[in-house]
Structures are given as C-alpha cells and as structure tokens.
C-alpha cells in the first residue's frame, strides 16, 4: 500500500470517527452546529481523534526502533518488558506519591520503563542462542516477572483496581484536558526521525557500526530512551495498546525494507490508521456501547501476529 493510500484511508476513518457516538452529529450538520454539538466536538470527539492518531503513530514507531536495534522482528515495547516496567512505575507513583500530578507520574513511569528496557537489552547481550522466536519469549517472561511484582504489591496495598483503571487501553475517557500529555511525545518522534539513519546502522551490528565510526552504545541508548519515554506517556494517557508496536512495523517493512528513515513515516501512518480502524470497530460492534481499544487491538493484532509468525516459520523451514 502506497503512502497516499494510507493518507486517504486515514482521512476517511478520521472523518468517520468524528461522527460516531451516542450524541447525534451528522456530517451535514458540520456547517450548522448547535452549541451543544460544537462542545461535543471540541471537548470529546476531536481530542479522542488526536489522541488516537498520536498514540497509534508513536507506539508503532517505538516498535520499529526496537526491532531495528535488537535485529528481531518480534520485539516491541510489549514483548520486551517496557510496558510492564512502566506499569510498575505507575504503581510506585501511586504508593509513594498519591497526590502527584501527571508529569510526576510520567517521570516515574519513564524511569521504570527505561530501567526495564535496559535490563532486557542486558539479558539479550548474554543470550548466545538468539533465535527469532526465543528472544521475544525471554522478553515476555521478563515482562511477566515484572507484572507479577506489580500485581503482588497492588494486592498488598489494595491498588490493583487503581492500576488497572489507569493502564487499561481505552479512548472513551479521553476528553479535553486529559490527553495533552501526548503532545510531549511528538518531539521524541521527530528526534527518532533525525537519528533514523544511525539507528539503521546500529541495527546492522556493533562491529559494523563501529567500523563506520558510529558511537554504537550512545545511539542504542538514545533509541531506548525514546522508546521508554514515548511508551510511558502513552500508557499514562490512553493505557496499553497491545501488539501495535509488533505487527505494524512488520507489515511496513515487508513493503518498505529495513531502512528506518524510509519506513518511519509509513509506519506512523499505518499505526494511526490501524488504531483508528480498531477504535471504530469497537464503537460500532455493540453500539451504543463500546469495546475498549485494548480488546479490539488485542484480537485483531494477535491474529495478524500469528499469521506473521506462522509465515516466518514456514519460510524458515
């Protein structure tokens, strides 16, 4: 699929998303909106649309960066313990700083997400058997260990429901004043684009990168900081978006190749389109109620992931 195809699909889905909801706003009312309809658009519908686009693009780019740096197509913030570490950071912020604002919670979640990602990379360095499937399984096990710690302390201090409500992926509660934190992730995405060529070289291996004069560790650390930073913002604002950073980069690189600078814009577009599509499906399938974005992305994304997994194993055999 070409870029302009994605742009057209994205515009159509965005237009559709604005007019889906319990409050009746028809497309032909756009030039003759009542005060109540205008308030609905500016307070709820447009913030929701903006948050979907930013979150979808940001998490897809994070997955692309991690796959490039680890040289594994099945590594993402979900399968590397980054998201689980961010959850632990949210729990710690609720325990130690219950009255902290969003920025303070984001800082703590970022610190834990970054630490968890670095631990995963250290584990990766010590693994000699670097099979395509084995590495993400190690990440999932590491994430489950961190998640178990979060659950234990959540149960001990009666904060399981609070953490779950914070981290369950859902756009229904996104309104004006509760999504603006996502704007902070845009400079990080632009930084990822500026360093895209260096991430591509780092993905070719440490020896190759060093032979070209690249500071390999500094570039890898920068990529991990971007991933942890963006992941912590998204998880605090809209919750977990499973499989997004896993399947979207895989689909894009099939058509675009592994050059990060060429793939980063199509990845952002497809990530936004994919989340928009899943959100619309979740809002329509049991209308006027809606299914959370975590469930719709989880079901559709897991199906795509299994297809990619079985296809890769068939090619390897």
pLDDT in tens, 114-142: 898 888 888 877 776 666 677 778 888 88
- Answer whether 58's CB lies under 8 Å from 193's CB: no
Confidence of residue 274 (pLDDT cuts 50, 70, 90): very high
> Regarding the domain delimited by 39-316, which CATH topology (the fold level of the hierarchy) does it fall under?
ABC transporter involved in vitamin B12 uptake, BtuC (1.10.3470)
Amino acid 314: pLDDT: 52
CA angle 261, 265, 271 (to 5 degrees): 130
pLDDT at 199 over 80: yes
- pLDDT tens readout for residues 12-48: 988 888 888 766 776 666 777 777 777 878 888 888 8
Structure tokens at 163: 């953490």
Residue ranges of domains in the chain: 39-316
Which residue matches tokens 């992730």? 185
Q: Model pTM? A: 0.87
d(CA 152, CA 57): 33
């Amino acid at each position: 699929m070409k870029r302009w195809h994605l742009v057209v699909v994205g515009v159509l889905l965005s237009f559709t998303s604005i007019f889906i909801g319990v409050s009746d706003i028809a497309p032909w009312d756009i030039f003759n909106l009542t005060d109540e309809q205008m308030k609905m658009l500016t307070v709820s519908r447009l913030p929701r649309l903006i948050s979907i686009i930013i979150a979808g693009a940001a998490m897809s780019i994070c997955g692309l960066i991690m796959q490039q740096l680890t040289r594994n197509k099945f590594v993402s913030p979900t399968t590397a313990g980054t998201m689980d570490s961010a959850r632990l950071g949210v729990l710690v912020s609720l325990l130690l700083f219950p009255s902290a604002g969003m920025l303070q919670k984001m800082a703590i979640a970022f610190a834990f997400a970054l630490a968890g990602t670095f631990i995963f990379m250290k584990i990766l360095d010590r693994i000699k058997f670097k099979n395509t499937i084995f590495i993400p399984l190690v990440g999932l096990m590491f994430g489950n260990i961190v998640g178990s710690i979060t659950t234990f302390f959540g149960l001990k201090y009666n904060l399981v429901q609070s953490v779950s409500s914070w981290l369950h992926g859902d756009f229904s509660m996104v309104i004006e004043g509760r999504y603006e934190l996502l704007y902070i992730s845009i400079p990080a995405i632009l930084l990822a684009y500026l360093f895209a060529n260096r991430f591509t070289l780092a993905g070719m291996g440490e020896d190759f990168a060093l032979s070209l004069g690249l500071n390999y560790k500094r570039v890898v650390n920068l990529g991990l900081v971007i991933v942890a930073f963006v992941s912590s913002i998204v998880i605090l604002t809209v919750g977990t978006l499973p499989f997004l950073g896993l399947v979207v980069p895989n689909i894009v690189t099939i058509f675009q190749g592994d050059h990060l600078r060429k793939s980063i814009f199509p990845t952002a577009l497809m990530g936004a389109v994919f989340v928009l599509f899943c959100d619309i499906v979740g809002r329509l399938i049991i209308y006027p109620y809606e299914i959370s974005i975590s469930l719709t992305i989880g079901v559709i994304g897991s199906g795509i992931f299994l297809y990619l997994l079985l296809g890769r194993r068939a090619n390897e055999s």
